[in-house]
Amino acid sequence: MARFVHSFLIICAATLPLRSQAPVQPQTPEQVQAPEPRPTSPAQTAESTPAGTSSETEDRFHALRVSADQLKADYQNLADKSIPEVEKRLLIKRCQIVRIGALLDRTIEGLQKWSEAELKYWDSWGEAEQKRVDGETSKLEMWGNEQRRREEVMEDEKKDIEELQRRLDDLERTPSQTQTIQDQIAALIQRLDGTKTALEQTAAEYDQITVQIKVSSDSIYKQLVEIRENRRDVAAYTGRLNASYDKMRVSAQQVCDASDPKKSQAAKQ
């Protein structure tokens, strides 16, 4: 499980290594801010999955996680090799659009493969978590009904106690305490004690249900929100990198456009 936690934090926190020379465009891929590390998938939080065997707290989408991690590493290797060469060629100020374009295309393809795999992983978790939320919502409704029933029972038990206490008081004020009256008093005391105990039990159940409702209400959407934030961060991170690569391509094309047409045509051959 610790390895799973580590996998997404690497994806969220890692940026491309800083280069010794800055490219000519305003923002380079290594300057693009990676997503902020967020809590990982519900596989890391046992209470977010249905109660049961320990396997239910493991990452049910482990294969997707492994695939995304591998594609991330592949993309990183491509970027580490291609982007420094692109930056170096841009500094030469000579038309090299064919070579630069090929390097960027290869890097962007790797980025796209990782992004699609990463988004698929979080989409899969999002669907599973939405089903859990739907189930928890139904459970909240059931607990709410149980809470109301306990309230009704407590009201009835309180009324029974008042009535039993009134009858007991009346008997105890009877001038002639015959054996029959004493037996009735003893029976009422026993019933009164039993009803008070039942009221305490019902009140305890009511309190327990109230706590369950509060805890579940506070956390029911937490994991789903975090999953959607993770997905949004990955998409935004990919978009920022693509924008940086596009600026590199535009800069390379501008060098060609500004150069001598004959030389530019020869460089494209």
Note whether 154 and 206 are within 8 A (CB).
yes
Note whether 16 and 5 are within 8 A (CB).
no
CA distance 77 to 109: 13
Averaged over 41-68, what is the pLDDT? 59
Give strand ranges (E) for 28-74: none
Global pTM? 0.60
Percent of the chain residues past pLDDT 90, beyond the cut: 54
CA distance 241 to 14: 13
Find the Cα–Cα–Cα–Cα dihedral 104, 110, 114, 120, rounded to 10°. 100
Average pLDDT score, the chain: 79
Q: Is the pLDDT of residue 28 over 60?
A: no
DSSP for residue 51: S
| Of 215, 216, 207, nearest in space to 151 by CA | 207
Q: Would you place residue 265 in the very low, low, confident or very high pLDDT band (cuts 50, 70, 90)?
A: low
Residue pLDDT, tens place only, 226-263: 999 999 999 999 999 999 999 999 999 999 998 855 55
Query: What is the distance of C-alpha 144 from the center of its chain?
Result: 26
According to the model, what pLDDT value does residue 80 have?
Answer: 94
| Of 40, 3, 6, 30, nearest in space to 231 by CA | 40
According to the model, what pLDDT value does residue 57 have?
Answer: 44
CA distance 266 to 244: 27
Lookup: tokens for 172: 């105890």
SS3 247: helix
CA distance 248 to 13: 24
Residue pLDDT, tens place only, 130-169: 998 888 888 888 889 999 999 999 999 999 999 999 999 9
Domain boundaries, the chain: 2-268
According to the model, what pLDDT value does residue 261 have?
Answer: 59
Residues whose CB is less than 8 angstroms from the CB of residue 160 and which lie 6 or more positions away in sequence, other chains included? 195
CA distance 11 to 17: 14
Distances (CA, A) of 212 to 110, 146, 222: 47, 11, 16
CA distance 122 to 130: 12
Averaged over 80-105, what is the pLDDT? 94
Residue pLDDT, tens place only, 111-136: 999 999 999 999 999 999 999 888 88
